[in-house]
Amino acid sequence: MKAFFRFTLLCVLAVGSRAEDDVVASAVAHAKAHPQGDVPSSFVAADYRADLRDLPIGVFDSGVGGLTVLEAIKAHDRHHNGTGAAGADGVPDFAGERFVYFGDQANMPYGNYSAVGRTGFLRELILRDALFLLGRRQANGVKPPVKAIVIACNTATAYGLEDIRAAVKAWGIPVIVIGVVEAGAQGLAETADGAQGGVAVLATVGTCASNAYPKAIAKVTGRPVRQLGSASLAAAIEGDPSIKTPIRDIIRADVGAFLKSAEADGAAPIDTLMLGCTHYPLVADEIAAAFAYWRGQSDADGRKPYAQLVAPQLKQVNPAAWTAEALWRSLQGAKMMAVTKPTAGDLFFISIPNPNWKGIGLVADGTLAYEYKYGRVEGQVDREDTINVPLTTDRLPGATAGLVRDKLPLTWRSLQAAR
């Protein structure tokens, strides 16, 4: 574990320098060389010279955590659908839209790549995700291209938002690109409701290493920020069989270590939690309970060291809802909202190891072995050691399926219809 965190400073420097511009150049050149979209990581160039308004909206994440963002988009109702005026009208703002969701489950968690010095490969993975949404190829047939890409993953936004926007510009395609980090920071500013205390950003180690949230929050407010990076929580929520510790215990231990460090440093009292990983809204109640637990704990001297550090009532900011608003504003401003009611339902895809890829490293349950997964390097954008197949409810691990069913009802119905 010590080795895992030893790379944090190196990761921040790597993201800050953006020295690996060849990652973007390679993806741009590859797609341009294959305008028919007939090979991996390419798209049909002609698709983006027509009217894009009735194309679906693409959403991607490192796994299924981004389904929380899709749910927020589906439920979003802050505008009148007929006029676009502010104010809910009882009809979801995206009721006329269709969605294509992709979760790169075989390669998750994205938050760990930077920690082992694989930032370049992570950036390549993120560009491949975008290219999958833009293109038509998938393992079992074809899929529609998309008119917008929502990066429903905080780590992918931190390391790939600029890359995807640069690639889209280089390809000359009018595709809108939205990331959750910028939207989350804006949501924090617009919903402060008088809160002026410290902000605790809960995210993956990779997202924290990127420093994306402190930078984004600093642009909209001067509130102090402290980050809590978990190495295992996102994977545990995904149902990773290698993680044996119960989710509640992971959260309690992470929060305890975080508060101990914050108290020792004399950190500002915390009154707001930023759910900086798309998986975390699924366990928001458990996160709140962990902070409440530690706030009430006494030390050997009978002192409650965290009683003044943690506010009695913590405000939670979920970037998903603000991502939905940013998407609506962008599509509305570009006059790219759908004009024809969709005749087909949403589509969901997930990556799995490619059984035909030579030299692939697998563990007993068929997932990519740790050494293989984190030993790869960039430079092969058309690599197909994983393939993308339809995601249905039966492909979700039991615990994850229960969370999606109980907490994301609109998305659950779409998933069931996609079977």
Task: Specify the residue for token string 């001067």.
Answer: 222
Residue 208 annotated in active site: no
Between strands 386-390 and 310-317, the pairing is unpaired
Residue 102 near residue 65, CB atoms below 8 Å: no
Q: CB atoms < 10 A from the CB of 220, how many?
A: 15
Strand 148-151 with 141-142, pairing: unpaired
Q: Which amino acid is at 164?
A: I
Quick one: DSSP state of residue 68? H
Give CA 117 to chain center in angstroms: 20
CA distances in angstroms from 187 to 193, 219, 409, listed in the order given: 11, 12, 23
CB 248 within 8 A of CB 285: no
Number of other residues whose CB lies within 10 A of the CB of residue 299: 9
Q: Which of 72, 100, 115, 153 is catalytic?
A: 153
Q: What is the CA radius of gyration of the chain?
A: 21
Under 8 Å between Cβ of 120 and 18: no
Residue written as tokens 């993201």? Answer: 15
Rounded to 10°, the helix 398-407/409-417 angle is 120
Q: Please confirm whether the linkage preceding 109 is cis (ω < 30° from 0).
A: yes
Place of tokens 């008088």: 194
Annotated catalytic residue within 277, 282, 331, 368: 277
Q: Do 277 and 213 meet the contact criterion of CB atoms below 8 Å apart?
A: no
What is the Cα–Cα distance from 181 to 155, expressed in whole angstroms? Answer: 9
Catalogue the active-site residues.
153, 277
